[in-house]
Copies of this chain bind each other. A is one copy, B any other.
Amino acid sequence: MPTIVVEVMPKAVLLDPQGKAVTGALHRLGNTTVSEVRIGKRFELTVEGEVTDALLAEVQTYADEMFSNSVIEDVVSIEVAQ
């Protein structure tokens, strides 16, 4: 059965406290190459039957209205996993 992957990230303009904490931890470990970490969500939807444009449009609606909070997050991608 096909899998559709929906990826949601915090809006770039917003402070990401979790990401800041991880960045700080990496720097305390001595890393100097990672300048920023941002943490979001990844949804894997297992679907029955074929992936049609109608289904992808339906998933886009779910992504915008259920999987993300449009005030603080962006849906960055919706893809059919290989």
Contacts and interface: CB of A to CB of B under 8 A. Distances in A.
Secondary structure type dominating chain A contacts: strand
Chain B CB within 10 A, most for which of A8, A37, A40: A37
Contact of A62 (B26, B40, B44): B26
B49 A33 contact: yes
16 contacts: A9-B42, A9-B44, A22-B43, A22-B67, A25-B66, A26-B66, A33-B58, A34-B47, A35-B46, A36-B45, A38-B43, A39-B42, A39-B43, A40-B41, A40-B43, A42-B42
Interface of A: 1, 7-9, 22, 25-26, 31-49, 55, 58, 62, 66-67
